[in-house]
Homo-oligomer: A and B are copies of this chain.
C-alpha cells in the first residue's frame, strides 16, 4: 500500500481551505488536527508550496491556497507530494536466457501502465472542492 502522505496532504489542504482565520493556521495547529508532528506538516507543506499550491511566510503562521478548490484536482495534489509513479514493483533482473524472463519486465510495464492510467483518470476527476463538499 502507498504511504499516508496523500491522505495527510488532502487533510492539510482541506483545513486551509475551510479555515477563515488564516493566522490560526500554524503547523502546530494543523498537526493537532491531523494527529502528527508539526515537522511532518511543515515537510508536507514544503512540497505543496514547491508545487505552487499554497504560500507561506517564514516565521509567520498562516497558509493560503493559491488555487481554487474547484480547480484543484486530486491528481495535481498527488503529483505535488511526489508520490510513487508506479503502482506495482517489478522484480529486478529476471533471467535473460529464459523466454519469460527476457520479456516479462516490458510486458508488466504495459499492464501496469493501463492500470495506472485508470487510476490517474479517477484522481483527475475529483477536486478538493468535492472533498470539501463531503466534509460538510
Contact = CB atoms under 8 A, between A and B. Distances in A.
B114 A18 contact: no
A3 B89 contact: yes
A122 B135 CA distance: 30
Chain A interface extent, by class: 35 or more
Interface in A77-136: 84, 86-95, 98-101, 103-104, 107-108, 110-111, 114-115, 118-119, 121-123, 126, 130-131, 134-135
Number of chain copies forming the complex: 2
The majority secondary structure among interface residues of chain A is helix
Contacts of A118: 118-119, 121-122
B135 A95 contact: no
The 8 closest A-B pairs by CB, nearest first: A4-B89, A1-B84, A33-B98, A118-B118, A115-B122, A107-B134, A4-B91, A33-B101
